[in-house]
Amino acid sequence: MRNSKVLTFIFILTFIMLPFGNIASGSSPGAVPTAVTYSQIELGYDTSCAVTSGKAGVCWGINEEDTLQLGVVTPEEYHPFPIRPTGFSDNIIEISSGDYHSCAITENNETLCWGDGYYGALGDGLTDHDGTPTAVINFPNPGHVSAGAGTTCGITSAGLAYCWGNGYSGQMGNGTNTGENLSPVPVSIGTLSKISVGSANQVCAITSTGAAFCWGADTWGQLGNGSPLTASNLPVQVSGLGTGTMQNIASGGIFTCGLTVGGGVKCWGYNGDGELGNNSTTNSPSPVDVSGLTSGVSAIAAGAYHSCAILSATGAVKCWGHNGYGQIGDSTSDNNRLIPTAVVGLTKPAVGISAGGNHTCALLNDGSIQCWGKNYEGQLGIGTNDPDVVTSPVEVINEIGSIFGNVSYSGSQPGGHKVFVSLHLDTGQPPVESTQIYVGDLYGIAGLPDGSYYISAFMDVDNDGGGPPDAWEPAGWYDGPDAGDEPDLVSIVNGANLFGYDITLLDPGVSFSVYLPLTLR
């Protein structure tokens, strides 16, 4: 953590405080426009992760204290802004998000995983984790990685498959049912081109010869090899999807979908919400054609209970299945969709698609990301979890800078008062961004463009909901570890996430004679 010296207010300030939650965001006047573009989007159950065109790996959404699904400590147990996991360099070439953990591959041929490491899902040989990124061991020359529900699998650049984590249902694919696998083990299969780990303990893959295989649990027919519904700890071929038939595969909740070489979509497994897209709610342990999508599809995605596809000709997106949170994207959140239904409101053609627990995101051809569906934990990346359900696409924040720190106070005022933390472009100007916390809490101001900021804080003793601070209200500026006793600029460069910018509040000795009306945003 950075040192923080104390500086009391010794001149008149004009504050316009903006009341928010623990995290604030915005595009600050005078800051340098630094909007990023994205190159990949991957969704977990209540998280979302992406890679920027500058190879920054970022995530947003749920971030429970004992799990850290985002790989970094944030002010609350959700973070609705893109943020890098702890220690990330801008060298990420692929990212994958599972139910409670995520993984990424770097340019240095390293695989990093973070979040919940139960069953060994992080692959570092350890059972205890703090949730921050750790390096996977015994997985040489990674080419692809897929995170699921306690299980992770990957393919090396040579096409060799490895899995680690939960193997109780045979997810390691090596003929065993070992529960905890703390580091990668080889899968008993030939070379692969694709691999996908589902949320119902199934793993599916495409071989280098274009055949589909699955292994693990088969409770609802998600392995696709027909009856009986029996788990397999060795890969089994999906019925009818032999050599030369398949180009991609997506394991969902308790179903699976595949993309044929002819651009058609086939799904199998659970169908109670229309997950198979064949205008039925009957489960199928063998592949069925998705209605209207027997050709002309370029990409597919499978979430917990819904699926989506991109149409090759136009870049339009269609989704089907569960729609209780608007994850279909047709401006409704009522009835499930048993056949593919057009997403309404995408501003550009889609080039990438991913489906999560109850939300969906599309990567557009201009490098932006638009999401829709459940937003309870900020998994849509729009800077807030309000509204908590979004039924048509909204754009993910494209400025990824942030500043975090703590505020302390040991003066004469009683506890329990809110503290307002603000960013200023100059010490004599009102704030451009603000957030509110309590003493001892971590503050965060995120979604910031590159630029230099002064950070101030004051305690709202009279509980008037904002500022400027009155004469009796403790206040202070961030003053870094230099020799001076003046407010220090804090600079964000290349969308950096800055931590340790702590402020200590002191009881002021001067009055603030200028009062401007509270400005709400």
Please give the Cα distance from 479 to 494 (Å, whole number): 23
| Residue bearing the bigger pLDDT, 462 or 24 | 462
User: For residue 80, what pLDDT band results from cuts at 50, 70 and 90?
Assistant: very high
User: For residue 86, what pLDDT band results from cuts at 50, 70 and 90?
Assistant: very high
Q: Chain centroid to CA 141: how far?
A: 25
For every residue of 349-380, which 3-state class applies, written as one string? Answer: CEEEEEECCCEEEEEECCCCEEEEEECCCCCC
Please give the Cα distance from 444 to 387 (Å, whole number): 20
| Residue bearing the bigger pLDDT, 467 or 430 | 430
Residue 515 has pLDDT above 60, yes or no: no
| Residue-level pLDDT at 5 | 30
> What is the share, in percent, of the chain residues with pLDDT greater than 90?
84
Q: Chain centroid to CA 400: how far?
A: 13
User: For residue 149, what pLDDT band results from cuts at 50, 70 and 90?
Assistant: very high
| Residue-level pLDDT at 82 | 98
Helix (H, G, I), strand (E, B), or coil: what is residue 252? Answer: coil
Please give the Cα distance from 97 to 308 (Å, whole number): 17
| Residue-level pLDDT at 428 | 86
| Residue-level pLDDT at 482 | 74
| Residue-level pLDDT at 288 | 98
For residue 118, give Cα distances in angstroms to 82, 148, 167, 175: 25, 12, 12, 21
Residue range 72-81: mean pLDDT, rounded = 96
- Mean pLDDT (the chain) is 91
The distance between the two most distant Cα atoms of the chain, rounded to a whole number of Å, is: 80
| Residue-level pLDDT at 512 | 35
| Residue-level pLDDT at 486 | 85
| Residue-level pLDDT at 227 | 84
- Encoding tokens for residue 105? 């591959």
pTM for the whole structure? 0.92
Instruction: Name the pairing type of β-strands 475-477 and 451-459.
Output: antiparallel
Cβ neighbours of residue 202 closer than 8 Å, sequence gap 6 or more: 169, 171, 214, 215, 216, 217, 218, 222, 223, 251, 256
Residue 463 has pLDDT above 60, yes or no: yes
Please give the Cα distance from 143 to 160 (Å, whole number): 9
Residue range 188-197: mean pLDDT, rounded = 98
Any idea what the Cα angle at residue 133 is, between residues 66 and 112, rounded to 5°? Answer: 135
| Residue-level pLDDT at 480 | 86
Cβ neighbours of residue 124 closer than 8 Å, sequence gap 6 or more: 113, 117, 134, 135, 136, 137, 182, 183
Please give the Cα distance from 260 to 239 (Å, whole number): 13
| Residue-level pLDDT at 242 | 98
| Residue-level pLDDT at 520 | 25
Residue 404 has pLDDT above 90, yes or no: yes
- Encoding tokens for residue 192? 């692969």
User: For residue 483, what pLDDT band results from cuts at 50, 70 and 90?
Assistant: low
Residue range 169-194: mean pLDDT, rounded = 98
Cβ neighbours of residue 375 closer than 8 Å, sequence gap 6 or more: 80, 359, 382, 385, 386, 387, 388, 389, 390
Residue range 326-352: mean pLDDT, rounded = 97
H helix or E strand, kind and range, residue 178: none
Residue range 271-275: mean pLDDT, rounded = 98
pLDDT digits (tens, 9 = 90+) for 209-233: 999 999 999 999 999 999 889 999 9
| Residue-level pLDDT at 24 | 58
User: For residue 470, what pLDDT band results from cuts at 50, 70 and 90?
Assistant: confident
Residue 66 has pLDDT above 60, yes or no: yes
| Residue-level pLDDT at 521 | 23
